[in-house]
């Protein structure tokens, strides 16, 4: 049986898609998906996307958001 370090080393050599799939699978074992919560998040995501598409809200570029966060924590 591989040690945790050996397993991690092996995982790091996988292609990016396989690493992402492995990470997703491991995370699901820590925090099992809840279909009810997933449904609620889908509803929220669809509403937010619709608000952007219809112009009800304006998206803020990520760079701008991160600049504001960085300024806030520099104080």
Predicted confidence at residue 33, as pLDDT, reads 82
Please report, for the chain, the start and end positions of each structural domain, with discontinuous segments joined by +.
Answer: 35-74
Start-to-end CA span in the chain (Å): 49
Structure tokens at 61: 């570029």
Residue 38 pLDDT exceeds 80: yes
d(CA 44, CA 31): 20
pTM over 0.85: no
Mean predicted confidence (pLDDT) in 33-55? 96
**pLDDT tens digits along 7-34:** 999 999 999 999 999 999 999 899 888 9
Q: pLDDT at position 19, please?
A: 97
């Amino acid at each position: 049986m591989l040690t945790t370090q050996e397993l991690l080393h092996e995982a790091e050599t996988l292609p990016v898609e396989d690493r992402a799939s492995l990470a997703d699978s491991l995370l699901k074992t820590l925090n099992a998906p809840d279909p009810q919560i997933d449904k609620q998040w889908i509803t929220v995501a669809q509403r937010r996307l619709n608000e952007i598409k219809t112009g009800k809200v304006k998206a803020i570029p990520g760079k701008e958001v991160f600049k504001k966060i960085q300024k806030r924590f520099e104080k």
